[in-house]
């Protein structure tokens, strides 16, 4: 009888141990999942993207310098207006940098600049005034959201404003649409268009 009781006690201890072990594995698995989910924003692709907007420069001077360079090189200027706060802005910068076909078209026909604008962080009265003046100079492109692309000719005249949502595909951008945009607004294409 005692032996049967011992067998029963051992079986109960084994069941308790097995249950504790299962609970431990379950807790460890849940902890691992939570740690992974919490780490995604830190290690995800968005956090890895290079910050391309210089928040410390005068945007009007940046645009003026680009216009002078474009005029001297027979190119147009593309102002990608947005900021490091904007995931879609950083995605686009990454997209055109990594696509050699697009980067070649840009290099041949445009002076490409990232013009910083942050609608939520003015940085004081002076920066707020500069941001307002920049948007007015570019024909108020913020109405299209961010990023927004403003094409300027060699004299600084706005020839086109491109809403970036028409270039998107899924969580990124469509090469064909982006190429169509850039190729449609090269100096050569604009000069050849019927008037």
CB-count burial class (<10 Å; 0-12, 13-18, 19+) for 16: exposed
- pLDDT over 70 (residue 17): no
* 11 burial type by CB count under 10 A (0-12 exposed, 13-18 middle, 19+ buried): exposed
Helix spans in the chain (H): 2-43, 45-48, 59-73, 87-98, 100-109, 125-137, 175-184, 187-192
Question: What digits encode the pLDDT tens for the residues 23-71?
Answer: 767 666 555 554 443 433 433 455 566 899 999 999 999 999 999 999 9
Give percent of the chain above pLDDT 70: 75
As assigned by CATH, the class of the 59-192 domain is alpha beta
Q: For residue 110, list its beta bridge partners.
A: 76
Where do the structural domains in the chain lie, given as residue ranges?
A: 2-43, 59-192
Mean pLDDT computed over every residue of the chain: 85
Q: Is 45 helix (H, G, I), strand (E, B) or coil?
A: helix
Nearest to 112 by CA among 149, 74, 162, 167: 149
- pLDDT of res. 141: 98
d(CA 166, CA 144): 11
For the stretch 81-122, pLDDT in tens is 999 999 999 999 999 999 999 999 999 999 999 999 987 766
d(CA 178, CA 140): 22
Q: Beta strand 148-152 with 158-163: parallel, antiparallel or unpaired?
A: antiparallel
- Rounded CA-CA distance 186/105 in Å is 9
Among positive and negative, which fits the CA dihedral 162, 180, 191, 98?
Answer: positive
């Amino acid at each position: 009888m005692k032996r049967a009781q011992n067998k029963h006690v051992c079986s109960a201890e084994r069941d308790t141990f097995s249950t504790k072990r299962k609970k431990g594995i379950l807790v460890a698995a849940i902890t691992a999942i939570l740690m992974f989910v919490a780490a995604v924003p830190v290690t995800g692709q968005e956090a890895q993207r290079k910050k391309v907007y210089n928040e410390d420069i005068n945007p009007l001077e940046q645009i003026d310098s680009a216009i002078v360079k474009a005029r001297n090189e027979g190119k147009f200027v593309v102002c990608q207006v947005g900021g490091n706060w904007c995931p879609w802005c950083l995605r686009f910068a990454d997209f055109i940098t990594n696509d050699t076909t697009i980067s070649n078209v840009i290099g041949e026909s445009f002076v490409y600049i990232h013009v910083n604008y942050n609608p939520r962080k003015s940085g004081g009265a002076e920066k707020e005034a500069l941001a307002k003046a920049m948007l007015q100079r570019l024909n108020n492109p913020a109405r299209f959201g961010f990023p927004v692309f403003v094409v300027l000719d060699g004299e600084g005249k706005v020839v086109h404003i491109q809403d970036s949502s028409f270039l998107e595909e899924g969580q990124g951008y469509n090469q064909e649409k982006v190429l169509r945009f850039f190729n449609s607004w090269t100096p050569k294409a604009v000069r050849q268009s019927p008037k």
